[in-house]
Amino acid sequence: MRYLLLFTLGLLGACNARMYIDQEPGNTGRALAPGQSATFRFFTTDPAARSGLNLASGASYGVQIPLVSNWIDGDIDTDENGAPLGPAGFADSQMPVDALSLVKRSRQHRWFELMFYQDGCRRESLVGLTDLPFDENTGAYIYQAPCSGDLKLFVNDGQGFYINNVGFARVTVTRGN
């Protein structure tokens, strides 16, 4: 019954998805010079977390995501392999009701996966953490900015379900070129 209620609330929330994406694209964030880094806080409860950074078109950025707290999506605190939940999210098979995958913000990405997008080119820039190459030497995921614009993040969850999320990370972005 509880999941039916959550599913219904999620569908209702999906009808007005505009409330979850800041509709004012802009270049209000701080630009990074090559080699420069910035760190900001990310909470999994935020459906459109502002990084405070303005990325440059074509530039490469290393993204490190050390977790400060456990990540939990409702009752789910582990991925399909039993590992603690983190920025890579979890498979659809972990959800108690298969139909809930219809309300994910990005159906082709994993539940609770950390998602990136930029103002100015939202469709081109929307990628999940698992889409990004990982640099073993630096311990960073590599994000190539498809346009200039502010960077925002969210976890891939159902519209209206952010209230049951738990998790905090300090994200560091370093411009590579």
The whole-number pLDDT of residue 15 equals 39
Q: Which residue range is the domain that position 95 belongs to? A: 2-21+29-175
The whole-number pLDDT of residue 177 equals 78
pTM of the model: 0.85
For the chain, the DSSP string reads -HHHHHHHHHHHHHTTGGGGS-S-----SEEPPTT-EEEEEEETT-TTEEEEEEEPTT-EEEEE--BSS--EETTB-B-TTSPBP-TT-B-GGGSSSGGGGGGBSSTTS-BT-EEEEETT-HHHH-EEGGGS-EETTTTEEEEE-SSSEEEEEEE--BTT-GGGEE-EEEEEEEE--
The whole-number pLDDT of residue 100 equals 83
User: Measured over all CA atoms, what is the biggest interatomic distance in the chain, rounded to whole angstroms?
Assistant: 52
And the tokens for 162? 């952010």
- CATH number reported for the structural domain that contains residue 52 in this entry: 2.60.120.430
pLDDT tens per residue across all 177 residues of the chain: 444 444 444 444 443 333 344 445 566 889 999 999 999 999 999 999 999 999 999 999 999 999 999 999 999 999 999 999 999 999 999 988 888 888 999 999 999 999 999 988 988 999 999 999 999 999 999 999 999 999 999 999 998 899 999 999 999 999 997
Q: How many domains does the chain have?
A: 1
